[in-house]
Structure 1
Amino acid sequence: MARKRLFLRLLLLAGLLLAGVCVAAWLAVRPAPVPQLTPAESAERAAIFGGPAASPPALYSGATRTSPTLTMRDGTRIAVDLWLPEGRGRKSRLPTLLMATRYWRRVGLVWPFSLLDQPPEEVRFFTAHGYAVVRMDVRGTGASGGSRAYPWSPVEREDTREVLDWIVSKDWSNGRVATLGISYAGTAAEFAAALGDPALRAVMPMFSVYDAFSDIAFPGGVRNDRFIYSWGQANSILDSGHLPHGTPWWLRAVVTGPARAGGETPEEQAADRKQHEANGDIYANALSVTFRDDVARPAGISIDAFSPHAFRAETEAAHVPFYVWAGWFDGAYADAALKRYASLHVPQRLVIGPWNHGAAEAVDPITREKGMPPNEAERLFERLRFFDHYLKDEGPAPKNEIIYYTLGGGGWRHTDVWPPAGTAERVLGLGQDGAMVWNPADAKSGSRTYAVDFSVGSGPQNRWHTQLGRDDVAYPDRASVDARLLVFESAPLAEATEISGWPRLHLLLAASSEDTAVHAYLEAVSPKGRVVMLSEGVLRALHRAGVSMGGTGRAFLRRDAAPMVPGRPETLDVRFLPLSAVVPAGWRVRLALAGADADQFARVPPVGEVTWTVFTGGDRGSRLYLPITPQ
């Protein structure tokens, strides 16, 4: 009898403990109210983005989800989640937002946590405002079947077309669809525009690539080794149905893998996941590439086969309006966005904020301010304004322009050209004494020698690493790193100086090797000696002769290869990533040159020591060109 009472007590205790865990979990994941803006936030959103200050109210409360499995033309099963607003009339017709991801459209949870599954905030927001939302696992990933030789393949893009057809065939659809997403999903959204599908009325690529070679895989022709390897490893683990290394233990304990789609048996799900084993190895392919037109092995294609910029003609023919989002600290994606804006002739609106990948962080490294507006709710309402116009015929047409944040306390600004009107290049001559002077003729002629330090790096929280997990971008005070680099510095600025555009470096350099990589850092130094990273430029010397591709940078083609002759001075024109920043009066402008970034990029050359000679002064001496915008 005593044992029975003990058993019942233990059972009761376990039940209470489980109930407590469930209540705690519910409190942690329960959906917050659908965001609404205060009058002050509405005014703030309008001041930043333009348009009317009034924010539309929510039309619905709650969303219902179904998870059908769609069978593609080749029999591959694609897992989809569909959310519809609760309480919609049976005859109501809704526009649809489509997001295609390779990072699991939704996670599966163990019981009883599966009972607490809630739609993401973005889904709740848009369904509340009268949209259907569809999220899909692209083939070879998540709960979908099939395999993928490489990202955004023609087969994957045709799957998007079939999902668009499925959407418009439904009685809840008004026949209008927009694609959107961050990172991989943003590029998938952009590729949808090239399909020319009449149902697609708007596209919103956010924090995503335009030229896959120069924006992410090989900036300046140097392999982005840490990103490609880590991204490939994480994707391989995800495609096997598990969470990547480094995921907290408590999350591993409750996540079963990608959420199953409805109508699929466990055996079918296992068969679909088995097909993922044939997925391509992105890192192995990258190791076989030096030039843009190299055929990657074993994929059998060049990188432009999955680069949006190579599909410009198809995208322009479709003429779908774009609203692009980017961050100054998100790898080279602000550069990607500006290249797209300049070269893609469709209606375009672009915003570039003081953000990392996905806008999880807003920071001004000059003023040290954090969390600047707009907040997430204000950004959601700005996206809603764009979709409402093109999918519901509501509200004024969004203006085609660039909205950008100027660091150093400059705030939000608008322009329709980049660099902004009135911007002009000013030249700083590099001197043998390490000084940079505004009159290049005054730069001291001669040369400086630098033994490349291959152990130096840009740190574990650099602009490239944020693209793996949306981590904060944080460059510690660069003074200690710069002590190991070749540094040139200006005198204190007499007045606050705005740099908005693409800085560039004309470097006259001789190397002791046939190849080398230049990692150039543009920095600002406070009167107290604090060194702030502003921008960086990368160029592999082998690619220095590549011709321009008409607004998208160097071609990086094999025919343009130009090995260095050891000891012979050669000109390297290094283009920095774009920026907009006000450097305060009394601060100095610094140029720091490295021959390696051990934290991020492949070593060039792979082995051996390298010594540089940088030539200064005179008509051919090294110079830094800064795009200066009048205050």
Structure 2
Amino acid sequence: MSKNEKFPKEESNPYHFENVPSRKTFSGRYKKSSQYLTMRDGVKIAIEVVLPEDLGKTDKIPTVLMQTRYWRNYKLRIPFRWLLNDIPDKKMLYSYLTSRGYGLVTVDVRGTGASFGTRPYPWHKNEVEDGRDIMDWIVEQFWSNGDVVAMGGSYVGVTSEYAASLNHPAFKAVFPYSNQWDVYSEVAFPGGLYNHYFIRIWGELGEGLDQNSSKKFLSLFPIFYFFLKGVQPVETDENEELLEKAVKEHKKNVYVFQNEGEVDFRDEPLTGQEVDNADTVGVFTEQANIEKSNVPFLTWAGWLDGAAAENIINRFMNYKNPMRAVIGDFDHGMKRRANPYFPLTYDIIPEKEEQMKSWFDFFDLALYGEDSFSEKVLYYYTMGEEKWKKTEKWPPMGQEMHRFYLNENSTLTGSKPNKEEGEDKYSVDFNITSGDGNRWHVHYAQKMNYTKREKIDPNLLVYDTLPLEEDMEITGHPIMTLNLASTHQDGAIIVYLEDVDEEGNITYLTEGEFRFIHRKISETPPYKIDIPYHSFKKADALPLVPGEVAEIKFGLLATSVLVRKGHKLRLAICGADKDTFLRYPSEGNPVLSIKRSKETQSFIDIPVIKRY
């Protein structure tokens, strides 16, 4: 599909909504104002209000709420502040949403930007509760019709979902995208491995922003540093005295990287806390309140945006709320394509204006449709086939698990090993890296790049199938089962699933990582999942006995791909990714023995969709 090709208005198009009601529209010219709101505990929060410039005295409009920790508005450097009112992305959003008859309230959450207060950790209960005070204020304004919706990506997506948990009577719909649902497993510790790259860089960015410094943009968003001097003070703070006082208060903030070395397990208290842990900041814990609200959801994420697709699937499987869930081949900001079958091709489909049309068609339907928004559908994009599909249940209908065994001569076979003895030894190489274009690095200015697998795989333990006799659609979570022994009590395994074509070109499909001490299979997960459940709690930790075989069973990250006839499936296995995850163990050089005998097998179960 070319960049300029429009999506047909068909059943499998996730961006199209039927029967969108007609409403009064405006010119797209807008006006802004800013001020402090005083919260219930006296903390002053900075807000920005964006309204249609041609809003009439009697016009009443709904409001979009966006609560951010990334500066609600920017103070531009000279000469840009003389030439521009807003950077292009904000101008496009403001113009579009006001043209559709919406107002916007953006907020510096407490402890950030121009707001006062402190933050002991992200999405603290005080920050969440501020949303209620802000909505109370919104509905009292002359321009408000009493309806509030929320939207945003990443951090702002989480704040929008938390807003749904408040059950405020004005809150009517929510659109979180590329956000975090279970912070421990999706962001901080995928498979129990500490994501030191992301946590360090994100925490340091936040610390810089909270001190009104744009220097961190130099390494993450260089163009932002070029344009932006700092956060925009509120209008009445002409001498920036209040901003200076707020920034001083921010020095008491605690940042996520300060948990490094202090927190390993899901139930360990965060730095400076007696009880609050990673689950405290996981919005999945608000499921009951969110279901009580019954607000409809539109929610998007990309297959290769870290583990963001996991929250789409988990939310879809668990919430009873009406929902259109979408998993596509886009990156964290939905600005670039992230599809391994189109390496180094980044033009996004659809373009931003068509994306925004979809967002506000959803809001219009949720607020003013003739019938209440009631669909519960997940749309997903199958990469390699380049086709949208939809399902009303997950896993999708027709999914069958096909088992492939690790076998001799680096093969991956449908039949069990037939030898009485069989193993492959692997000395963990802690210099292995998947590079700075992997799925865990593309949250910022980095572009996805998995084009170097041909250079990486020779240093890994690999197993290949024979060429496929027919096309194979893989949709869902592959499940890896390894029987292995190690020379050390702790360690990790990273498994890459790949597509190898007839010429030997390698296409990354998905991956799974797992820390060995979390291998205990536990009962009663906190929410419904379709992979083995590991609690990641301290009491369930099981160090390996060196030399003793242990079963390691875990799910890879979900995907949807079509592997073509004649291609091979490959498993590539290693024990480290130095530029992304902390090393396990912290010292020593483990040697892994992966068993593949008649009695002790290692295998992967691959979710295949039956094709008719």
The TM-score bracket by the shorter chain reads over 0.9
Whether the 8 Å contact between 2:12 and 2:379 is mirrored in structure 1 is: no
1:395 offset after TM fit, Å?
7.8
SS in 2 for 1:430: strand
SS in 2 for 1:227: helix
Match for residue 324 of structure 2? 349
Unaligned runs of 5+ in 1: 1-37
Whether the 8 Å contact between 1:42 and 1:53 is mirrored in structure 2 is: no
1:455 and 2:455 are equivalent in the alignment: no
1:530 offset after TM fit, Å?
0.9
Match for residue 413 of structure 2? 437
1:71 offset after TM fit, Å?
1.4
For 1:42 and 1:423, the matched residues in 2 are separated by 27
Distance 1:54 1:173, change over 3 A: closer
Equivalent position to 1:255, from 222, 228, 248: 228
Question: Where in structure 2 are the equivalents of 1:134-213 lying within 5 Å?
Answer: 134-213=105-184
> Residue type matched to 1:390 in 2?
A
For 2:557 and 2:5, the matched residues in 1 are separated by 37
Match for residue 522 of structure 1? 497
Match for residue 83 of structure 1? 50
Match for residue 621 of structure 1? 601
CA displacement, residues 491-533 of structure 1 (integer Å, 9 cap, x when unaligned): 1111110000000111001010001111111111111111111
For 1:78 and 1:246, the matched residues in 2 are separated by 24
1:117 and 2:91 are equivalent in the alignment: no
For 2:348 and 2:234, the matched residues in 1 are separated by 39
> Residue type matched to 1:480 in 2?
K
> Residue type matched to 1:298 in 2?
G
1:589 and 2:569 are equivalent in the alignment: yes
Match for residue 551 of structure 1? 528
Question: Where in structure 2 are the equivalents of 1:206-605 lying within 5 Å?
Answer: 206-247=177-218, 252=225, 255-264=228-237, 265-300=239-274, 301-366=276-341, 368=343, 371=347, 373-393=349-369, 397=373, 399-440=375-416, 446-467=422-443, 469-548=444-523, 549=525, 550-552=527-529, 553-605=533-585
SS in 2 for 1:592: strand
CA displacement, residues 445-486 of structure 1 (integer Å, 9 cap, x when unaligned): 51011100011011111101112x152211123122111111
Number of equivalent positions: 594
Match for residue 52 of structure 1? 18
CA displacement, residues 186-227 of structure 1 (integer Å, 9 cap, x when unaligned): 011111111111111111110001101000000011100111
CA displacement, residues 54-105 of structure 1 (integer Å, 9 cap, x when unaligned): 8969811111111121111222211111111121221111111101110111
Q: Which has the larger radius of gyration?
A: 1
Distance 1:178 1:619, change over 3 A: farther
Distance 1:617 1:253, change over 3 A: closer
Distance 1:231 1:466, change over 3 A: same
For 1:165 and 1:126, the matched residues in 2 are separated by 22
Unaligned runs of 5+ in 2: none
Distance 1:43 1:340, change over 3 A: closer
CA displacement, residues 403-447 of structure 1 (integer Å, 9 cap, x when unaligned): 111000241111111221011000001113210111235688510
CA displacement, residues 306-341 of structure 1 (integer Å, 9 cap, x when unaligned): 111122122222222111110011000101211111
1:101 and 2:75 are equivalent in the alignment: no
Whether the 8 Å contact between 1:564 and 1:570 is mirrored in structure 2 is: yes
Give the structure-2-normalised TM-score: 0.92
Whether the 8 Å contact between 1:546 and 1:556 is mirrored in structure 2 is: no
1:302 offset after TM fit, Å?
0.8
Whether the 8 Å contact between 1:546 and 1:557 is mirrored in structure 2 is: no
For 1:474 and 1:45, the matched residues in 2 are separated by 32
Whether the 8 Å contact between 1:207 and 1:327 is mirrored in structure 2 is: yes
For 2:355 and 2:267, the matched residues in 1 are separated by 39
CA displacement, residues 580-629 of structure 1 (integer Å, 9 cap, x when unaligned): 00001111000011111101000000011100000013243001100000
For 2:7 and 2:22, the matched residues in 1 are separated by 13
Whether the 8 Å contact between 1:95 and 1:132 is mirrored in structure 2 is: yes
Match for residue 13 of structure 1? none
Percent identity at matched positions? 34
SS in 1 for 2:446: coil
For 2:602 and 2:151, the matched residues in 1 are separated by 44
CA displacement, residues 237-266 of structure 1 (integer Å, 9 cap, x when unaligned): 111101133527775465331011122352
For 2:549 and 2:503, the matched residues in 1 are separated by 37
For 1:149 and 1:110, the matched residues in 2 are separated by 31
Whether the 8 Å contact between 1:433 and 1:444 is mirrored in structure 2 is: no
SS in 2 for 1:304: helix
SS in 2 for 1:597: coil
Distance 1:171 1:597, change over 3 A: same
SS in 1 for 2:397: coil
For 1:112 and 1:622, the matched residues in 2 are separated by 62
For 1:131 and 1:401, the matched residues in 2 are separated by 26
1:371 offset after TM fit, Å?
3.2
1:268 offset after TM fit, Å?
1.4
Whether the 8 Å contact between 1:107 and 1:257 is mirrored in structure 2 is: yes
183-192 vs 373-382, greater mean Cα deviation: 373-382
SS in 2 for 1:233: helix
SS in 2 for 1:603: coil
Whether the 8 Å contact between 2:118 and 2:252 is mirrored in structure 1 is: yes
Distance 1:335 1:172, change over 3 A: same
> Residue type matched to 1:356 in 2?
D
- More helix per residue: 1
For 2:404 and 2:222, the matched residues in 1 are separated by 53
Distance 1:175 1:596, change over 3 A: same
1:391 offset after TM fit, Å?
2.3
Whether the 8 Å contact between 2:428 and 2:592 is mirrored in structure 1 is: yes
Distance 1:230 1:39, change over 3 A: closer
Distance 1:180 1:257, change over 3 A: same
Distance 1:350 1:259, change over 3 A: same
SS in 1 for 2:325: strand
69-78 vs 385-394, greater mean Cα deviation: 385-394
Whether the 8 Å contact between 1:326 and 1:334 is mirrored in structure 2 is: yes
For 1:470 and 1:196, the matched residues in 2 are separated by 36
For 1:589 and 1:419, the matched residues in 2 are separated by 21
For 1:333 and 1:397, the matched residues in 2 are separated by 24
